[in-house]
Amino acid sequence: MSTPIAEVVPQSLCAREPRVPADRLVAEMVPPPRFDSVRFDTYVPDPNQPSQSEAVTVLSSFAAGLGGATAGGTGRKRWFGGRKPAAPTGPRGVYLDGGYGVGKTHLLASLWHATPAPAEHKAFGTFVELTNLVGALGFQQTVRTLSSHRLLCIDEFELDDPGDTVLVSSLLSRLVEAGVALAATSNTLPGKLGEGRFAAADFLREIQGLSAHFRPLRIDGDDYRHRGLPEAPAPYDDEQVTKAAYATAGASLDPFPALLDHVARIHPSRYGALTEDITAVCLTGVRPVDDQSTALRLVVLADRLYDREVPVLASGLPFDQLFSDEMLNGGYRKKYFRAISRLTALARDAKPLVRQ
């Protein structure tokens, strides 16, 4: 938490135009700061949900099984020489499926840490970061770059359009052929990806191909961020938020509508860079988001703030009123509930910033 000091002019996220070089995209494919120190033994399974303990056991065994030779892709000598190994016949990955807040990202990051390979032979990123990597490097160069990895972890694996379906299906098929192990998290089973969002039936072959790469691992449970905790704090008024921003070193201060307009002009893969070195995000005038494209961008921004443990102090409506009932019952409902959950947690974290 930042140390309050007197009259520091806050930054504005709306004034930032982050640019992320392609080499940095690859170098930063590691677990985010919130999950830098997590391990399997720091995951606390709910005793009422045996699938959570089972997931730790399965993933620990999966990590141990990734010891030995590196992937047999191009560009790197295999440890034991000889012929390139035959392509695996069964699933080459695990797919963590469950509701928001059951600790899937914690487990995925723990798998990354537990896999016996140097950091440069493992990659961890969100689905949107992976697709942006392809956009920055090109498909063939992405295949060459990742083929020498032992493990690729993909967080928040959710297909939102047909183009992503074909792209990711082709990419993962090439990586599996090169011997790369896969792990992913999602709120949607692999065979149901895209359902309710686009004409998934028209891309059934690609979706089934994606599903074939993974062994689904269901994780049941309630949102751990709200187990036994009080309700989200009520929003503050504009004056309180503004005073807190000026009293907190490294804080940002923006009107909520202006921030939504600004992030519409920035690719979601750069939202992490947008919030770099920000100690707290202060927002005035939070209001409902009635446009689905805007709402989905807000989901990604909430994820990046949560990954980086950046508290969010806001005036206006509480975060559980951001999305309409229609959105919360539509094809992206799990994304919206995740965003509400994470923003609520960050709002609790921001409470000490307000001087009583």
Work out the pLDDT band at 200, boundaries 50, 70, 90: very low
Residues with Cβ within 8 Å of 340's Cβ and at least 6 positions away in sequence, in order, are: 319, 320, 322, 323
| C-beta separation of 299 from 26 below 8 A | no
Region 16-32: mean pLDDT is: 87
Q: Within 10 A of 346 (CB to CB), how many other CB atoms are there? A: 24
Q: Give the residue from 127, 212, 217, 196 showing the smallest Cα distance to 168.
A: 127
pLDDT higher than 80, residue 233: no
Q: Please, what sign has the CA dihedral across residues 198, 204, 210, 216? A: positive
Q: Within 10 A of 155 (CB to CB), how many other CB atoms are there? A: 25
| C-beta separation of 78 from 72 below 8 A | yes
| C-beta separation of 165 from 193 below 8 A | yes
Work out the pLDDT band at 110, boundaries 50, 70, 90: very high
Region 275-301: mean pLDDT is: 95
pLDDT higher than 70, residue 138: yes
Q: When comparing pLDDT for 127 and 87, which is higher?
A: 127
| C-beta separation of 283 from 346 below 8 A | no
Convert 44-99 into a string of H (helix), E (strand) and C (coil).
CCCCCCHHHHHHHHHHHHHHHCCCCCCCCCCCCCCCCCCCCCCCCCCCCEEEEECC
Rounded to two decimals, the pTM is 0.76
